[in-house]
Amino acid sequence: MTEASDNGAMRAVKDCLAGSVGGIAQVFAGQPFDTVKVRLQTQPDVYKGTMDAVRKTLQNDGPSGFYKGTTTPLVGVGLCVSIQFLVMEHMKRTFGRINSTPSGQAPVLTPVQLYAAGATAGIANSVVSGPVEHIRVRLQVQTSGAAAQYKGPGDCIRQIYSSFGLKGIYKGQLPTILRELNGYGMYFLAYEALVQRKMASTGKARSEISSALVCMYGAAAGFAMWLTSYPIDVVKSKLQTDGFAGDKRKYSGSIDCLRKTIQQEGAKGLFRGITPCLLRAAPANAATFIGFEMAIRALG
């Protein structure tokens, strides 16, 4: 094995480890907001709005209700974010070579290249994020106690797989792929463009950008992602909490779900739950990028 391939493998390991740190930080910062978002998206007849969802969740499940389904994303999101950053950093280096970036110099990518790199990372990520989010949202929308259908992530996976196989685990995968493609295209475009601009205007290295700015850029990336992809996320959540067969199944697919949502709730139904989503975007994504950047700096 050559020295270059050794360095490439070590770089990939560091990207994965740093991504895991960012993913874990994201879960702890964003899970309560995500629980409220999913409940609003999938149960419009139960919750009147964000504060009503917060109040009823506290009333019915207690404070722990906001962290329902956390085990799955804690493991899964760590893996997902590892994949995102691994692929994104690889694509940046690839485009850097295409752009003939001098050795040792940080690659500067065009907006189209940044979007393409992020979209590629999103598609790769969807292989894991699809089933992880499917299990998470099913656990998030069920109430606690004897009425709960699933005892936990393992039981949820076991029940779905035993009845519907791998296809059941990957329910809602098409809108997941579409959301990840555009969402992470916009996500990394926003963050990396801001970082590149700061480096160009100040002459500073990436590692010299302040933690406060990293958090601000991460928050901006979160807003860019959700403001351009939220309706797709609503369709995904509705499909992933829908029944699997018979009378329990409301939607035959993504287009049917989109049509029925607009028919029954109007266009605003495609933005239901966006308030907690946007409230989550700043802390969760600031935590993601500060976790990643600090870990990369520590790993060298």
- For residues 71 and 76, what is the distance between their CA atoms, to the nearest angstrom? 8
* Strand intervals (E) in 30-105: none
Question: How many other C-beta atoms lie within 10 A of the C-beta of residue 191?
Answer: 25
Least confident window among 30-44, 212-226, 261-275: 30-44
- For residues 230 and 275, what is the distance between their CA atoms, to the nearest angstrom? 11
Q: Is 253 helix (H, G, I), strand (E, B) or coil?
A: coil
Least confident window among 8-12, 60-64, 209-213, 245-249: 8-12
Q: Which of 26, 16, 195 minimizes the C-alpha distance to 108?
A: 195
- Asked if residues 118 and 97 have their Cβ atoms less than 8 Å apart, the reply is no
CB-based burial, 206-237: b 16+ in 10 Å, e otherwise: eeebeeeebbebbbbbbbbbbebbbbbbbbbb
- For tokens 């393409």, the residue is 116
Q: Is 112 helix (H, G, I), strand (E, B) or coil?
A: helix
In this predicted model, what pLDDT tens digit does every residue of 114-161 receive, in sequence order? 999 999 999 999 999 999 899 988 988 887 666 788 988 899 999 999
Q: What is the pLDDT of the chain when averaged over all its residues?
A: 88
Give residue 3's pLDDT band: very low, low, confident or very high (50, 70, 90): very low
Give residue 111's pLDDT band: very low, low, confident or very high (50, 70, 90): very high
- Asked if residues 169 and 158 have their Cβ atoms less than 8 Å apart, the reply is no
What DSSP assignment string belongs to 171-224? TTHHHHHHHHHHHHHHHHHHHHHHHHHHHHHH---GGGS-HHHHHHHHHHHHHH
- Asked if residues 216 and 286 have their Cβ atoms less than 8 Å apart, the reply is yes
- Asked if residues 137 and 42 have their Cβ atoms less than 8 Å apart, the reply is yes
Angle at CA of residue 216, ends 140 and 279, nearest 5°: 30
Q: Provide the CA 220 distance to its chain's centre, in angstroms.
A: 15
For the chain, percent of residues with pLDDT exceeding 70: 93
Q: Is 110 helix (H, G, I), strand (E, B) or coil?
A: coil
Average pLDDT over residues 51-62: 88
Q: In this predicted model, which residue has the larger pLDDT, 12 or 51? A: 51
Question: How many other C-beta atoms lie within 10 A of the C-beta of residue 184?
Answer: 28
Report which residue type is found at 170.
Y
